[in-house]
Structure 1
Amino acid sequence: MSIASHIKEVTVAGGSRTAIDFGSEQITWGGLGASIAELESLLDKPGNSEELVGLLGRNRTEPVAAFIAALGAGKPVLLINAVRSANQVAKEVEELRLACLLGTADDLVPEVLAAARRTGTQVLELSLQNEEIDYTERTPRGIGPFRTRGEGTLIEIQTSGTTGAPKRIPIAEHTIEASLRDGIRSARGTVEQPKLEPKTSPTLMFSPLVHTSGTFNTLMAVFEVRPIVLFEKFDPARFTEMLVRYRPRFVPLPPTAIKMMVDSPATREDFSSVTAVRAGTAPLAVELQDAFESKFGVPVLTTYGATEFMGVVTSWTLDDYRQFGKDKRGSVGRTSKGVEIRVVEADSGAEVARGEVGVLEARLQRIDGGKSWIRTTDIARIDEDGFLYVLGRSDDAIIRGGFKIMAGKVADLIRRYPGVNDAIVIGRRDERLGEVPVAVVEPSRADEEIDASALRLFAKEHLTPYEVPARIHVVPRLPRTVSDKISRVEVKAMLDALET
């Protein structure tokens, strides 16, 4: 069955139950079904089945509903990050040359509409009317030519742009379908066949729709007929309120949100319905995991994946956690169904022995039938029980006078210092040593004062001498990507300004 057909069946099965909850706004599964039919009538024209539909995505009712509606209408979707300047979005819209663009009034600013007129892109404004999506034409369709999808592509999504300019990644329908089926895992890790039975436990979604985790969480919720509770940004107070209102069994929390909950007034009682927290999108420090589990009594099951994989590659199950949770701290779990991993030497590509460090590669059934090994930029090791440990990125390694420093390890240590919310360590050129590590630190609160000299002494107590940052800069806030990861590109620009 195609994803479009499955979505339509889901809207029938869900009926009058809430599909999307965004504060004072709700839309039902039946409302999504009507929204699909309306969009089909607007876009179902001869010769345009291969043309990509662009969506100005953000975590609000209309864009998320329109994303589901477009896929339900059988249209390939290209996601555009709307949370940027008008000029940036307009430039991208003009370069993409889309046949159709969907967006809310807030995002269809004059610059974007002007860009659409220049390329002949039909623009449909989204609004919520009587718990259905209404589409109002703002610019008519021109003569083209327009951007078409690659063979089999269902979604085009951008990487987060953590280490460089974001890249567009085409995701095939068969990859998404296989990833969703692999994602139906019980608490014990077995894969279960989905049933079209509406769920009451929701997906609490604050990962951006335009990022792979948000895209996948949205599709997973639809696949399971599970309501989506939307957050535009993570807020500990509202998250706690939703925990108490909906009493979910499993909740996703990235490391930044885990830290915010540890620092929040939330209690064990607030988490009483939660069987486990799933953590992904960024490395989770062992100390932070310990603090969360100690405060709330809920196990954290870490996962590892990438945009290109459209889903997880490794994860923890509750059975694994009960058996190995204490001994395998810091691991991101074992392989998911249909996935193989190995660690290889960076230069020769030869596989290394279990326990040795190298570059991680993965082979996935859902990508090309598992024919090709895909190399990542992650440095890792796999232990004798098959647990994966991601030690950092190959482009994070800093060579200081011949000694290799893993920047992620140093940043993890700095995050343990009282008053530090987050930190990043960057290699900076040095005439004598080649490179030196420099730390940029964000306080937990805007009014928090962190003594850089005292922090450096703390680092000296816990690190080897060559790992200690040569300089530490405390800034009010670290720049972040749409997926809430620290933007290395912007941090480097910040350091250029600070150190000139």
Structure 2
Amino acid sequence: MAAIADHILRATQAGGRLTAIDFEGRLLSWQQLSAAIDDLSTVLGHQGVGDDKMVGLLGRNRLEAVSAFIAILGADHAMVLINAIRPTRLIAEEVAELNLACLIGEREDLGSDVVAAARASGTLVIAVDVTPDGVFFETLTPLGGQAHRLRPVGTLIEIQTSGTTGAPKRIPVSEHTISASLRDGVRSAKGTVENFELKPQTSPTLMFSPLVHTSGTFNTLMSVFEVRPIVLFEKFDAQHYRQALIKYRPKFAPLPPTAIKMMVDSDATREDFASVRAVRAGTAPLSVELQEAFESRFGVPVLTTYGATEFMGVVTSWTLDDHRLHAHTKRGSVGRVSKGVQLRIVDPASRAELPVGEQGILEAKLERIDGGASWIATTDLARLDEDGFLYIVGRADDAIIRGGFKVMAGKVAEALKQFPGVYDAIVLGLDDERLGQVPVAVVEAYPGSELDGEAIRAFAKQRLSPYEVPVRVHVVSRLPRTVSDKISRPAVKELLAQLG
């Protein structure tokens, strides 16, 4: 049996009757997850689905999908994660293209179109149900005789990128990469995991990151790895999050920038965060102003991280010691390099390594991917300071050249977010006959806020260079977002084409 499958089995046995997942008051114990692993192994075995085939999972943040996720990996099968939070037609098209031996999902997601697409491919379809008695799997369509997609050697999970800048692409993540990433991220006492002394934890993971996104996948695996209970949210809600803080009193709390802003604007108090030693923030850039506002209000340090889907985990992070020593002098940094990672900054054109302090393209070497043999290029512009702190300046494709002047779209968007009533903003470059490109902004208003685009432009003129000020500011009630709650650039481009 593979190492991760074996560890999941032993973790569920170690947890016993303790709660493993709490979803809106519906509870599953570790013992029930252990039984689910056994049941799924039996079903797949009887149906002839070997471990050389990939198992598809219609993923979303619900009890059924998360328990099936754990059961699939515990049963020693590799997985293709499929985003279930989309129109049925798109899911059916993806199922038809994937040609999987098995597809698992909750009944609500297994609509007639999806089941028909699976049946045409000879895909075994299994519905997962959760009752107070446990997790149950029911075969809806049998395995056909077709030749199905084989599991690439070493692959454990195939996951999609968030699609922030273009069409999502599938990335195979190896068991070696995931295992190494989990060991690097363990928060329990040194030696606990290495010595296989599995001990149930009491401080839970408050998880609202989408299961089908890297952060949700990793947080789920890490929780099982540490025998740590999961408090599962289908989506982030400030009031529900506050109630979970009060009920479970976690030591660490994950909060991406959008959620941090929602908490700052909520009626949460310092007492609500009394048990929290630190908030971990990742998945998107966090402005210095928002970080300072959160820390000032709640008295909790925010430890930012930086990673990517390809890395299956973070490559830089802040520690509590770093925050204590450098919180005010290294504001805006995403932390220092993680164990088993090397970073360098290279010139965008020549790819030659640049001196400390200079801005260029970020590249990384990771032991958990290929033993640290090769440099992996990102699309991020960054710099490293003399103490090894990394600063993400923006994306290489964020630069807008306006009449010879370089406009960094991220910088402009951050300035617009300071305008009262603006919840979020994005700036894109649109083609212009005279200047090459010009910046155009789309801002999302807080519910109930009335915003004027020209007033926002006037505000920007006081804070930016003339060439950085957007030529137009469009106000919308909600910006289009990806499954990971990042603004979708392709969808915004389509929106701008409609707005004119």
TM-score, normalised to structure 1, is 0.98
AA at the equivalent of 1:41: T
* Partner SS for 1:44: helix
Residues in 2 aligned to 1:24 and 1:221: alpha-carbon distance in whole angstroms: 19
AA at the equivalent of 1:449: E
Select 2:111's aligned residue among 109, 112, 121: 109
Residue deviations 1:133-156 (CA, integer Å, cap 9, x gap): 111111111012111121100000
**C-alpha spacing 1:429/1:3, structure 2 compared with 1 (3 Å):** same
**C-alpha spacing 1:399/1:191, structure 2 compared with 1 (3 Å):** farther
Residue deviations 1:42-73 (CA, integer Å, cap 9, x gap): 11266722100000000000100000000000
Residues in 2 aligned to 1:267 and 1:142: alpha-carbon distance in whole angstroms: 57
1:272 matched to 2:274: yes
* Partner SS for 1:481: coil
The Cα shift of 1:191 comes to 5.8
Task: Confirm or deny: 8 A CA contact 2:160 2:168 kept in the other structure.
Answer: yes
* Partner SS for 1:379: strand
* Partner SS for 2:461: helix
1:495 corresponds in structure 2 to 496
Residue deviations 1:143-187 (CA, integer Å, cap 9, x gap): 12111121100000000000111000000001000000000147x
1:9 corresponds in structure 2 to 10
Task: Confirm or deny: 8 A CA contact 2:49 2:102 kept in the other structure.
Answer: no
2:354 corresponds in structure 1 to 352
The Cα shift of 1:454 comes to 1.4
The Cα shift of 1:24 comes to 2.8
**C-alpha spacing 1:306/1:181, structure 2 compared with 1 (3 Å):** same
Task: Confirm or deny: 8 A CA contact 1:377 1:393 kept in the other structure.
Answer: yes
1:477 corresponds in structure 2 to 478
Task: Confirm or deny: 8 A CA contact 1:183 1:191 kept in the other structure.
Answer: no
> Which has the larger displacement, 42-51 or 410-419?
42-51
Equivalences for 1:357-376 in 2 at 5 Å?
357-376=359-378
Equivalences for 1:3-402 in 2 at 5 Å?
3-44=4-45, 48-185=50-187, 193-194=192-193, 195-402=197-404
AA at the equivalent of 1:398: I
2:453 corresponds in structure 1 to 452
AA at the equivalent of 1:243: L
The Cα shift of 1:193 comes to 3.6
Task: Confirm or deny: 8 A CA contact 2:192 2:198 kept in the other structure.
Answer: no
The Cα shift of 1:481 comes to 0.2
Task: Confirm or deny: 8 A CA contact 1:303 1:316 kept in the other structure.
Answer: yes
Task: Confirm or deny: 8 A CA contact 1:28 1:131 kept in the other structure.
Answer: no
1:486 corresponds in structure 2 to 487
Task: Confirm or deny: 8 A CA contact 1:380 1:388 kept in the other structure.
Answer: yes
Q: Percent identity?
A: 64
Alignment RMSD: 1.1
Residue deviations 1:1-31 (CA, integer Å, cap 9, x gap): 7000000000110000010100131110000
Task: Confirm or deny: 8 A CA contact 2:27 2:132 kept in the other structure.
Answer: no
Residues in 2 aligned to 1:393 and 1:107: alpha-carbon distance in whole angstroms: 35
Where structure 2 has 5 or more consecutive residues not aligned to the other structure, the ranges are none
The Cα shift of 1:453 comes to 1.3
Task: Confirm or deny: 8 A CA contact 2:347 2:353 kept in the other structure.
Answer: yes
Residue deviations 1:356-393 (CA, integer Å, cap 9, x gap): 00000000000000000000000000000000000111
Residues in 1 aligned to 2:234 and 2:422: alpha-carbon distance in whole angstroms: 24
The Cα shift of 1:131 comes to 3.9
Residues in 2 aligned to 1:442 and 1:306: alpha-carbon distance in whole angstroms: 25
* Partner SS for 1:469: coil
Residue deviations 1:97-144 (CA, integer Å, cap 9, x gap): 000000011100011011011101000001013342111111111012
1:418 matched to 2:392: no
* Partner SS for 1:384: coil
Task: Confirm or deny: 8 A CA contact 1:26 1:131 kept in the other structure.
Answer: no
Residues in 1 aligned to 2:369 and 2:308: alpha-carbon distance in whole angstroms: 12
**C-alpha spacing 1:115/1:47, structure 2 compared with 1 (3 Å):** closer
> Which has the larger displacement, 144-153 or 93-102?
144-153
Residues in 2 aligned to 1:47 and 1:443: alpha-carbon distance in whole angstroms: 50
AA at the equivalent of 1:318: L
Task: Confirm or deny: 8 A CA contact 1:182 1:191 kept in the other structure.
Answer: no
Where structure 1 has 5 or more consecutive residues not aligned to the other structure, the ranges are none
Task: Confirm or deny: 8 A CA contact 2:446 2:477 kept in the other structure.
Answer: no
TM-score, normalised to structure 2, is 0.98
